[in-house]
Structure 1
Amino acid sequence: MLTGAWTVVLTVVFAATGLYCVWRLAARRSQGHETVVDVSHVLMSPAMLVMLWWPMASTGKWAQIAVFGGLAVVFFRHLSGSDTVPERAGAMAHAAMSLGMVWMLVAMPLLMSGDAWTTLLSWAAVGLLAITAGWWLTHAARAAGHRVLCSCHAASCAGMATMLALMTPAI
């Protein structure tokens, strides 16, 4: 379990992003594929909070892996129907976040064992999540009218990258 300021910061990040997407769903701010995106954040936020506060909890681990793996497939499938580069990049970013979630669920016990391959793969996932967070921040600066939503995605992704980095041993 992480302790100190990181626990507080990550709790705020995941609670805020989850609540924002709950609000979007309740206010019907999202339509079509955006609904899937919001639902994925609503599911991911409490899963991250459970991982943060009860890292050894295995309740529903395989169900979560199935859900987030399924969401990754949905986001990859959305690529074929995307017309613009930002839409495609957004689908890839959400697929990366979903796969990052799957990796965190699978890797947590493996990271405790100190296997070199697990450590290397985790650092690669941290890098991918950090790059994805950077993409969302860049998109937030360019996408008038979607800045809050893109910032929400960036915060969620950066929170995931930070948490995985804090869980992963140094190389």
Structure 2
Amino acid sequence: MADLVVRRRAVSRDQPFSDEELIGINHGVMSAAMILMAWVMVEGAVAWAQIAVFAILALALLPAYRRTRHAADRTDLISHAGMDVAMIWMLAAMPTLMSELGTGGAGAGHSHGGGSSGGAPMPTPAWADTVNIVFVALAVATALWWLYRSTTSSRHRVHSLSYSVMAAGMATMLLLMNV
């Protein structure tokens, strides 16, 4: 019951959004970014701007984590921040992960390899594959967590299901980026 009070408390002057509003904004921005990524590969300033946004969103969840006392609610917040970090990875690593696609993959016309190999695709480095699999596992674990929360919690079941679907979508996109 105390957690419910923390989540529903009034917004203070030094906090422009409630915790729930911040999570909603976070997922709205994440959804838009993932839809954009499905169609084009963002590079340069656009990618770095998105990385900055997701870093700010992840850091903005820290005060809510400190206020929350229940383990399940803390896991909820960690999963939101973890998906922000996974988005940062996805944005930063996309050119490296998709280097084997050469110029014929997503975002046709762009060289994903970044090197001067005469247009030939470059293999994805093993370290990038390994880190990517860690983020895939994080996204799958997050999807399973939210699926579990949707069946065990009496509140926000639709939100929990939507978070599960988003995390599963992120796992799928990460896998497809270097298949």
Larger Cα Rg: Structure 1 or Structure 2? 2
Corresponding position of 2:69: 83
Residue 32 of structure 2 is aligned to residue 49 of structure 1: no
% identical equivalent positions: 36
Runs of 4+ in 1 over 3 A off after TM superposition: 56-59
The answer (yes or no) to whether the contact 1:140–1:146 under 8 Å persists in 2 is yes
Gaps of at least 5 residues in structure 1 are 1-30
Q: CA offset at residue 110 of structure 1? A: 1.2
What whole-Å deviation, never above 9, does each CA across 1:142-165 have from its counterpart, x for those lacking one? 111311010011011110011101
Q: Which has the higher contact order (CA 8 A, sep 6+)?
A: 1
Partner of 2:82: 96
Query: 1: distance between equivalents of 2:141 and 2:130?
Result: 17
Indicate which of 130, 133, 141 corresponds to 2:140.
Answer: 130
Normalized against structure 2, the TM-score is what?
A: 0.73
Structure-2 separation of matches of 1:67 and 1:87: 23
Deviation at 1:42, TM superposition (A): 1.1
Show the counterpart of 1:8.
none
- Post-superposition offset of 1:90: 0.7
Which SS does the other structure have where 1:60 is aligned? helix
Alpha-carbon distance, 1:57 to partner = 5.2
The alignment status of 1:165 with 2:165, answered yes or no, reads: no
Displacement of 1:58 in angstroms is: 4.7
Aligned mates of 1:57, 1:65 — CA distance in 2: 11
Equivalent position of 1:156 in the other structure: 166
Q: CA deviation at 1:55?
A: 2.2
Code of the aligned partner of 2:144:
G
Identify which of 27, 52, 56 aligns with 1:66: 52
Q: What is the Cα deviation at residue 85 of structure 1?
A: 1.3
**Which structure carries more helix by proportion?**
1
- Residue 23 (structure 2) pairs with residue 40 (structure 1): no
Q: TM-score, normalized by length of structure 1?
A: 0.77
